Amino acid sequence: MTGQTTGRKVTANLVISLDGRYHGAGGPADFATFATYATTDVARDQMTRMRENATTALLGRVLAEGFMAFWPSVAADDNADPRDRAYAKWLVDTEKVVLSTTLTEAPWERTRVVNGPVADLVAELKADGEGDILVNTSPSVTKAVLSADLLDRMYLTVIPEITGGGLRLFDDGLPPSKWKLTHQETGELGAMALVYDRVR
């Protein structure tokens, strides 16, 4: 690793509950609590904000499989909300890097599969190209870049509910870091869209 970078920012997007969890007590597939807020204006505007400068989507395998099964049909749907459709088109058209220990080749266009440490991959991506590298709603990848102190911006949407169970985004043992609030917006159901930039 040469240490050379292009100035690309590493950003991440996640929705969390008041108790800091990214899924419900029923396990990783339990998103019922979060679903109510996904189609609100504040959530859709946050989705637009996070992708505007992003040219690479960094995803974990499980999420990539779910996303690529769902979003391409939204991109082709004339009746979809314009913000959803714009995000879907971006996801289909942009460069995607999927972290996986089980996939050997990518089943989607404009996608490559990487089996290796997240920190090494991020260093490689930052050394070439332009635009933000968006860790797209992938908690395991977000945790890895937080642990390596490689995250430059967080797009957090906080929903006004306590799930009482489920995995937390901010685990004990993360390196201390300071963040500056650069955007804040409250939705009609009480969810808050927050953008934090890393202070270095």
pLDDT beyond 80 at 17: yes
pTM: 0.91
Question: 107 pLDDT band (50/70/90 cuts)?
Answer: confident
What Rg value do the Cα atoms of the chain yield, rounded?
16
Residue 86 CB partners (closer than 8 Å, separation 6+): 48, 51
Question: 28 pLDDT band (50/70/90 cuts)?
Answer: confident
pLDDT beyond 70 at 192: yes
pLDDT digits (tens, 9 = 90+) for 131-153: 999 999 999 999 999 999 999 99
